[in-house]
Amino acid sequence: MSLDNQAVTLLQELIRFNTVNLPGNEGPAQAHIAAILEGAGFVVEQHGAEVDRPNLVATLGDPTSGPVLGLLSHVDTVLADPADWTHDPWSGDLHDGFVWGRGAIDMKSQTAAEVAAAAELASGGWRPERGALKVIVVADEERGGNLGARWLVREQHELARCDFLLNEGGGEVIPYGGERLYGVCCGEKGVFRFSVTTRGTAGHASMPTLSDNALLKAGPLLERFAESQPDPQLIPEAKALLEALGADPSDPRAALESVVATDPRMAAIVSPLLGVTMAPTRIRASEQINVIPARAVIEVDCRVPPGLGEQEALAAANQVLGAGEHEIEFLEKVPGNSSAPEGELWDAIGEWLPSEDPAGKAIPVMLPGYTDSVAFREAYPEITAYGFFPQTNMDIYETSPLVHGADERIDARDVGVAARCYSAVARRLLG
């Protein structure tokens, strides 16, 4: 069976394990993966905070003899309602060239491609000339990774150690200005969520003029969030992205306008990467409908580029909200994380890409959201970790709406593309 077919078949099998988190129940899927990798020659260990939710690390080679390449993925998924789907979410159907099911994109397809590539290398007799190849499959990513990646790097620190890491977060082809771009995710924004509190005096709602309604004071603040975002603050990865798109990073607003003029769809990818973003998501005021609130609280999801932190987030909030009698309090402070778009792993991806897509061009991108890469970057500060699951047939505008949505599916050819990539990168880095 060809590598492509092995990867597609494994994806179908993995989808048929219902690993919706909660409860997760990743154990049976991990056992299936373990059997494949052990049969190919890997040394496989499974460890977890809960017995039925193990994390898997499979090792080929000697980690003390050179660099270690880790192929990382998670097998838990979000929920799915079969009533909303064309095909059953746990069918793994192969129909019209697509594999259907929950996890087809996020991210059992990458698990299948990584495991199939690693197993084919090992069963064919390949061994690293230096260092080791690790296949790392974790639980619990969809709920923060406390039982998964975060637990693994803390409790099995040496077992999970890597010098290079490939994970989710990038790789779909991005058509732009006549080019075919492939985003290599080099970083993830930090989370600095905060609350904005307004105060007044309580009173009976039947006599509104006798009180000072804190909720009404929150209204203008919401309008300010709607009207503007903070000034751009470009980190090196964002500058490199704009340059790759042919835009001048010295004037970020003009650069964004040029991107919009070329392809408005690209603005949705680029805009959040140019600095701090803020989105009010919840508001709380009176607990009773007949009581005028003395206090109203707006909660804001604030994302901050790597290298920036609380100071920049606070300055951005003050810029948007202006002066006034409101109070800002941070609820979460999680710095962003990144790996430089240079070095051996970057070069290995760049060398492989023309073999699959001669017109393709790798560009650095950054995620506004979160993956398990952050746990590895925190645990191993010298690691180079990228999100890269290459797809040449489905572009980013086709795949993005399907993540966590109904009728999640992937072009079967792209599962093979990714498997070939991981095989080539392993050979390039490890010999």
pLDDT digits (tens, 9 = 90+) for 162-205: 999 999 999 999 999 999 999 999 999 999 999 999 999 999 99
Mean pLDDT of 256-263: 95
Residue given tokens 């769809």 in the structure block: 265
Residues 305/238, Cβ–Cβ less than 8 Å: yes
Token readout for 401 is 């709406």
Task: Give the per-residue pLDDT at 188.
Answer: 96
The Cα–Cα gap between 15 and 103 comes to: 6
Model confidence band, residue 51 (pLDDT cutoffs 50, 70, 90): very high
Average pLDDT taken over every residue of the chain: 97
Amino acid symbol at 28:
P
Q: Write the DSSP assignment of 170-221 as a string of letters.
A: --EEEEETTEEEEEEEEEE-EE--EEEEEE-B-EETTSGGGSB-HHHHHHHH
pLDDT digits (tens, 9 = 90+) for 76-99: 999 999 999 999 999 999 999 999
Residues 334/190, Cβ–Cβ less than 8 Å: yes
Task: Give the per-residue pLDDT at 171.
Answer: 97
pLDDT digits (tens, 9 = 90+) for 373-419: 999 999 999 999 999 999 999 999 999 999 999 999 999 999 999 99
Q: Is 212 among the catalytic positions?
A: no
Alpha helices in 47-148 (DSSP H): 108-123
Catalytic residue among 4, 140, 141, 408: 141
Task: Give the per-residue pLDDT at 317.
Answer: 98
Amino acid symbol at 158:
E
Task: Give the per-residue pLDDT at 154.
Answer: 98
Mean pLDDT of 251-265: 94
Which domains are delineated in the chain? 3-176+336-430 (3.40.630.10), 198-330 (3.30.70.360)
Q: Under DSSP, is residue 71 helix (H, G, I), strand (E, B) or coil?
A: strand
pLDDT digits (tens, 9 = 90+) for 126-140: 999 999 999 999 999
Q: Is 141 among the catalytic positions?
A: yes
Residues near 257 by beta carbon (within 8 Å), at least 6 away in sequence: none
Catalytic residue among 4, 26, 76, 172: 76
> What percent of the chain stands above pLDDT 90?
98
